[in-house]
Amino acid sequence: MENGQISAQITKLADLLEFQGANSFKIRAYRRGARVIKDSTESFSTMAQSDPSVLLEIDGIGKGVAEKITQLIQEGEISEINEILETVPATVLDILRIPGLGPKKAAALYQELGIQTLEQLQAACEAGEVQKLKGFAAKTEQSILEGMAIATAANERIYWSEADQLASSLASHLNQCESIGQLEFAGSYRRGRETVGDLDILVVSQDPASVMAHFGNYPDLEQIIVQGDTKMSIRVGNSFQVDLRVVEADAFGAALQYFTGSKDHNVEVRGRAKQLGMKINEYGVFQVDGDSETYIAGATESEVYEALGMPCFAPELREARTEFDWAAQNALPDLIELAQIQGDLHMHTTATDGKASIEEMADAAQARGLKYIAITDHSQRVSVANGLDAERLLAQWKEIDAINAARDDNFLILKGIECDILESGPMDLPDEVLAQADWVIASVHFGQKQPRQQITDRITNALENPHVDIIAHPTGRLINRREAYEVDIEAVFQAAKENGKLLELNANPVRLDLHDVHCAMARERGIPIVINSDAHKISGLDVLPYGIKQARRGGLTAAHVANTLSWPELQKLLSNS
Ligand code: DGT
Ligand code: CA
Ligand code: CA
Ligand code: ZN
């Protein structure tokens, strides 16, 4: 079981306990534990299986949490959750998803009005029953109704790539407003999270009213949610929310720092300020002296962090994971950048399900500044994609030899294959064929629902094959669409490490697999990552920046990413191990 799944179960338990009005210390301990698990680079599942007592040595994991994890791993479920769900309807968990409606309010609604479902809640709000409850105002009722629309109006988190397109469109619209000076996007978009819940824009302007008016004229506007003097929220396109704030120039950096988050990162930053006898908020950093507060920084983000004796963290690192430790040791990583990538080692052509020829892909990659690519079409098992059998593959490699010979440049096309790992275990092509490749990717495309041990064995066996260089999209998850395989990622890391193999970070914005925490795990274990486009057409080569963002969130530098090397260097890396 993945850390993310364990964390979600512990959070569910905390939600249900809070709904029941259980002891708040206990609930807080579970929530803290859930966060530690989610952010950890160690496999809690492995630990709970081998020696549960080591769980207690982890900061933030108390006895209660450790017991629940152990039970979850050993028995497949947390019995307390089932016990609570005998008395509490599971549908209350839907109610908790409404913004601003925590477990306490949900409990009041349940106890006082018997509300168990979103539908019942909507009816009660519309009948004006909710505002009669203690702690609920007419305003709360209104915001519940609005929140319900959010929860139900296909308003899911969008892919970072979609948020990026929207951000460009919003920025070019706003930049036509003459009174806008500085403009920056904050929030999860700036931190490069793989999905974005809403966009947060900060601008400096002497004339907020003109900015609001201009913002309200965005061509793809659906609705203005709220409009204040300096703050405005709108919905654009398919109900996606965008928040805009107008701030003073001397507060721009402080606001940017505050609204970039994450919340957890900011909690730590505020703690630091307090230790120093200072205060930080979205308006600036202030020296506190008794009752008086003196502004000392706020115009730029770097001066804000500097005032607190901290480096200006790359936004991708601001998740309160390891960044503060790194800063304390003066060891913040010099995060990887797109320009450092020299080769793209996963792409398809018209031979299988791609849309461009070998030469077209090569020209396009070269035009994007790359020095080498690997052509890695599908193997025969993927018959829907017209996968290559040995004969067609060998013919393709001959063609690649000829193309390389004909191109009198320094660009190199490698003879590769994305070879399926068959459901029954073996590779889809014979070893004597794979032995002739420059580069062999092994992938799981079939039998994704196999039990944990079986699918893990398939992948680790592939890593033991001397001709395999790398596993593509190692967990198979598709963001917002499909869960990862039940793979034991820890075993995959170990097999990669032992056999000197690489793991892919697939830059397709729907995959981004390995994800950020997995990248951090690979980094710690000394397993090189390769960031690939998996392009099926020329424009597919342009996804690399998404992979770079994700790698940065995992703390990776060029040294951790093998395709920052030249091809001869990368070959040496593979043969050394
Ligand atoms: P999202 O929109 O769900 O993808 O994630 P964020 O991180 O963009 O969250 P959002 O839009 O609610 O708020 C943007 C940032 O503003 C957030 O990362 C931290 C900061 N922030 C917002 N509300 C609060 C708050 O109540 N307390 C603190 N400390 N920070 C907040
Ligand atoms: Ca946001
Ligand atoms: Ca927001
Ligand atoms: Zn592929």
CB 378 within 8 A of CB 352: yes
**Relative to the alpha carbon of 244, which ligand is closest?**
3
- The string of pLDDT tens digits covering residues 354-404 is 999 999 999 999 999 999 999 999 999 999 999 999 999 999 999 999 999
Between CA 510 and CA 482 the distance in angstroms is 10
Is the distance from the beta carbon of residue 475 to the nearest atom of ligand 1 less than 6 Å? no
- The string of pLDDT tens digits covering residues 188-243 is 999 999 999 999 999 999 999 999 999 999 998 988 999 999 999 999 987 789 99
The average pLDDT across 133-156 equals 74
CB 33 within 8 A of CB 10: yes
Q: Could you name the CATH architecture of 260-328?
A: 2-Layer Sandwich (3.30)
Is the distance from the beta carbon of residue 315 to the nearest atom of ligand 1 less than 6 Å? no
CATH of domain 158-247: 3.30.460.10
- The per-residue pLDDT for 38 is 81
Give the environment of ion ligand 3: residues with CB less than 5 A.
198, 200, 243
Q: 187 alpha carbon to ligand 3 midpoint, in Å?
A: 7
Going by C-alpha positions, the residue among 240, 122, 250, 115 that lies closest to residue 181 is 250
Is the distance from the beta carbon of residue 188 to the nearest atom of ligand 1 less than 6 Å? yes
- The string of pLDDT tens digits covering residues 269-317 is 999 999 999 999 999 999 999 999 999 999 999 999 999 999 999 999 9
Going by C-alpha positions, the residue among 368, 332, 311, 358 that lies closest to residue 507 is 368
**Relative to the alpha carbon of 156, which ligand is closest?**
1
**Relative to the alpha carbon of 233, which ligand is closest?**
3
Check pLDDT > 70 for residue 475.
yes
Is the distance from the beta carbon of residue 259 to the nearest atom of ligand 1 less than 6 Å? yes
Q: Could you name the CATH architecture of 338-575?
A: Alpha-Beta Barrel (3.20)
Between CA 371 and CA 564 the distance in angstroms is 10
Is the distance from the beta carbon of residue 263 to the nearest atom of ligand 1 less than 6 Å? yes
Mutate to test the pocket of ligand 1, among 259, 316, 319 (most ligand atoms within 8 A of CB): 259
Kindly give the interhelix angle for 103-113 and 118-126, rounded to the nearest 10 degrees.
70
Nearest CA to ligand 1 atom 27: 263
Q: 243 alpha carbon to ligand 1 midpoint, in Å?
A: 11
Which ligand 1 atom lies nearest to the CA of residue 243?
11
Give residue limits of the domains in the chain. Answer: 3-144, 158-247, 260-328, 338-575
pLDDT band of residue 150 (cuts 50, 70, 90) is low
**Relative to the alpha carbon of 420, which ligand is closest?**
4
Between CA 141 and CA 124 the distance in angstroms is 9
The average pLDDT across 532-556 equals 97
Q: 90 alpha carbon to ligand 4 midpoint, in Å?
A: 40
CATH of domain 3-144: 1.10.150.110
Going by C-alpha positions, the residue among 255, 258, 283 that lies closest to residue 270 is 258
Is the distance from the beta carbon of residue 486 to the nearest atom of ligand 1 less than 6 Å? no
CB 344 within 8 A of CB 508: no
- The string of pLDDT tens digits covering residues 249-265 is 999 999 999 999 999 99
